[in-house]
Amino acid sequence: MPTKEPIIKVEGLAKAYGRNKIFHNLDLTINRGEICALIGINGTGKTTLLKILSTLTKPDSGTFSISGLVASKNGEKIRKLTGVVTHNNLLYDQLTSYENLKFAGKLHNIKHIDKKINELSSLLKLDTVLNKKIGYLSHGFQKRISIARALIHDPLLLLLDEPESNLDYSSKTVLFELIKNLKKSGKTILIATHNIEDIAKISDRILLVSKNKISLDQKINTSITSQQSSTIYKALNNELL
């Protein structure tokens, strides 16, 4: 269950690329145990926000903290608390799935790496591909291995950039079941997505990025209502006008 303990706290965030202003005075708080879907049309900054929160990109101004750690002073500690899945799977094609996960585990100084890999293999149904090279795997299995890599160090916060894109039904089912289980264990998850209907079913909040800030913060109780869905799509359509 979500608590009132902030895991992500963003205040007055600003970011621009040249003359292209992405964020201006963006504020956001996400509490422990929440699953939040980050939506918005292309170019509004969903990926940029995830990169900033994972310390891969610096904001121009403003502050943010992860689990009380101010990012400007605690980048390394924040990276230890955070698991990230980007469009780039961050895997080595010439290595097997097992070798990729073991390498990631060693980077995080994980003890009992094989035990952790076996646990993740069971969660993500990877048994049949652990000894296969990444370059020979389907997109769906590469995505699953990428998610396993992000979870290898048992992070407090998971940042996912369109994890469901181009996945078949089987891989989507595994992904959504995993997210539900991670929520039960108290993980906080922020998912950038265009797949509103599916992600809304497992989310606590829908966050719309537009006009350089979070312009809509829709809380979902048990399932998204037709009225909430109408509000979200109306806000998205306004961005296209």
Report the 3 state secondary structure along the chain: CCCCCEEEEEEEEEEEECCEEEEEEEEEEEECCCEEEEECCCCCCHHHHHHHHCCCCCCCEEEEEECCEECCCCHHHHHHHEEEECCCCCCCCCCEHHHHHHHHHHHCCCCCHHHHHHHHHHHHCCCCCCCCEHHHCCHHHHHHHHHHHHHCCCCCEEEEECCCCCCCHHHHHHHHHHHHHHHHCCCEEEEECCCHHHHHCCCCEEEEEECCEEEEEEECCCCCCHHHHHHHHHHHHHHHC
pLDDT of residue 96: 98
Averaged pLDDT for residues 36-54 = 94
Reading the block at residue 85, the tokens are 């899945």
Question: Is 4 among the domain residues?
Answer: no
How far from 215 is each of 1, 38, 193, CA to CA, in Å? 25, 11, 16
Instruction: Using the predicted structure, report yes or no on whether residue 225 has a pLDDT greater than 80.
Output: no
User: Which residues, in sequence order, are CB contacts of 42 under 8 Å at separation 6+?
Assistant: none
pTM (predicted TM-score): 0.92
Residues 175-204: tens digit of each pLDDT:
999 999 999 999 999 999 988 888 888 999
Question: Is 68 among the domain residues?
Answer: no
Domain range spanning residue 103?
33-56+79-240
Question: Is 39 among the domain residues?
Answer: yes
Q: Which residue has the tokens 């990631």?
A: 104
Reading the block at residue 64, the tokens are 């943010």
Dist. CA 188–CA 199, nearest whole Å: 15
pLDDT of residue 20: 92
Mean pLDDT of the chain: 92
Residues 184 and 172 sit within 8 Å (Cβ to Cβ): no
Question: Is 113 among the domain residues?
Answer: yes
pLDDT of residue 23: 93
Instruction: Using the predicted structure, report yes or no on whether residue 65 has a pLDDT greater than 80.
Output: yes
CATH code at position 145: 3.40.50.300
pLDDT of residue 123: 93
Averaged pLDDT for residues 28-51 = 94
Per-residue pLDDT band for 166 (boundaries 50, 70, 90) equals confident
Instruction: Using the predicted structure, report yes or no on whether residue 212 has a pLDDT greater than 80.
Output: yes
Number of structural domains (the chain) is: 1
Averaged pLDDT for residues 55-70 = 96
Question: Is 63 among the domain residues?
Answer: no
Burial class (CB in 10 A: 0-12, 13-18, 19+), 109: exposed
Question: Is 28 among the domain residues?
Answer: no
pLDDT of residue 233: 73
Question: Is 139 among the domain residues?
Answer: yes
Question: Is 147 among the domain residues?
Answer: yes
pLDDT of residue 239: 66
pLDDT of residue 240: 58
Instruction: Using the predicted structure, report yes or no on whether residue 104 has a pLDDT greater than 90.
Output: yes
Instruction: Using the predicted structure, report yes or no on whether residue 241 has a pLDDT greater than 70.
Output: no
